[in-house]
Structure 1
């Protein structure tokens, strides 16, 4: 079974339901994973998405914060939602397709502005969250799985606009990159985006603070698509839909796509 998949931090699914619908109409991914939905599950405007063929959803929600959802044209059943670091946040949902592939949708904590857990509780929460992800993958090796989401870390030097300038900026500090790498290694996850696009600058997020984000192009690749080794070779056609960042009243993230032939 071949299917296409996209992951997108939407920064409020209710505020930007029309953008979600536009992406569905124009790109038609079979599975769309959203983060930062900022909505209780029962307030997600599912009728808009169902009318476009996305008749299946698994989700975890919160009022005004966090929230993850998997919208699918394909039947999908919920198979878990982890609360790593015991934050009580809606940051993970897992669903299984009929072909047996499990999709994990993550929204890793951003970590605040100061990369020091002694003075910034949020940074400590981020590191704890990543450590528990690592431990979970060590405890039970994932198989036939895809992991997507806003992982809030740009791990490679060419995942940011200026490696040296961002070394002390949350999302690209060595301690975060190491923590994400440990979680990735624990599950033997393959970075599908970089498997397909191994070289060159690649971004999925541009700050709202930039007056002209496109011209300044001070981006970071915070959004990821990973797969377990047993299905990684089936992943292909990765792309980041940069123009979406320029839509009216956009999210500060662009959607990341991949296709799988399974």
Structure 2
């Protein structure tokens, strides 16, 4: 069986635990990285994960907002809960997991959304987002003969033209503005990260992982954005066997506006 890793902005893990359990039962990823868990560490639903077969659990949370968690069916070791931009808002967690004879460093990120106004001079949330992405330049895709890196999460930026339903109409909408996309792609390339979701998918093909709650019929309108990402160090590319965007999860009961993305590696 391959090594699988999933990423999902769950938009409150306690509220949506039934669909998390469904994902674990039906797809059983080796590692699941959650964002926007919205729960302080002392109230994280560990028992539910253990009951589902996920005994290895690490989290970095706070009450009501943000938060990330990484759970696994195999041992994971805490590396860091990093504070970005000198703000302790629970947006990063890194762990190590053994797979295929390699020590894999897994970064789990929840990048700030950035508010509504794409002007850092008048919108401090947008300024925070740009600063956060700039600071991510210090997170390289470390690799050697016995180690590798994976970076996943809700990065809240759709960098490419066809990562949104309308490039033209969204150029001045937060998540797809040139200020975000240019710096985002520069950061990814400078760190040596490979965008696995676009590795074998043509740039002109639409890819979405998020559909707004505001749409009366999200599936019919299909006005999505690719805000969730899976990157790796270059030495994992030969082992990468593809990924799945679970679009059907957007239609599950009490869904998140994001859907899970599951990547497969031939590492076992």
The interval holding the TM-score normalised by the smaller chain is over 0.9
Q: Deviations over 1:79-102 (max 9, x none)?
A: 012111112110000000124001
Match of 1:120 in 2: 123
CA contact (8 A) 1:56 1:74 kept: yes
The answer on 1:46 being equivalent to 2:46 is yes
CA contact (8 A) 1:196 1:236 kept: no
Match of 1:60 in 2: 60
Write the mapping of 1:63-142 to structure 2, written as runs, cut at 5 A.
63-98=63-98, 99-134=102-137, 136-137=138-139, 142=142
Q: Deviations over 1:186-239 (max 9, x none)?
A: 211001111133341110000001111110100000000000111122122211
Displacement of 1:52 in angstroms is 1.3
CA contact (8 A) 2:32 2:70 kept: yes
- Segments of 4+ moved more than 3 angstroms: none
Displacement of 1:142 in angstroms is 2.0
Match of 1:208 in 2: 213
Matches of 1:178 and 1:191, distance apart in 2:
15
Matches of 1:124 and 1:4, distance apart in 2:
35
Which of 152, 157, 176 is the equivalent residue of 2:156? Answer: 152
Match of 2:174 in 1: 170
CA contact (8 A) 2:141 2:233 kept: no
Q: Deviations over 1:147-184 (max 9, x none)?
A: 00000000111100000000000000011001111220
Match of 2:242 in 1: 237
Q: Secondary structure at the match of 1:225?
A: strand
Aligned CA RMSD, in angstroms, stands at 1.2
TM-score by length of 1: 0.96
CA contact (8 A) 2:141 2:150 kept: no
Q: Secondary structure at the match of 1:171?
A: coil
CA contact (8 A) 2:81 2:94 kept: yes
Long gaps (5+) in structure 1: none
Matches of 2:42 and 2:166, distance apart in 1:
41
Matches of 1:151 and 1:183, distance apart in 2:
12
Aligned length: 259
CA contact (8 A) 1:197 1:238 kept: no
Write the mapping of 1:218-257 to structure 2, written as runs, cut at 5 A.
218-257=223-262
CA contact (8 A) 1:196 1:238 kept: no
CA contact (8 A) 1:153 1:172 kept: yes
TM-score by length of 2: 0.94
Matches of 2:161 and 2:125, distance apart in 1:
24
The answer on 1:180 being equivalent to 2:184 is yes
CA contact (8 A) 1:84 1:132 kept: yes
Matches of 2:241 and 2:121, distance apart in 1:
42
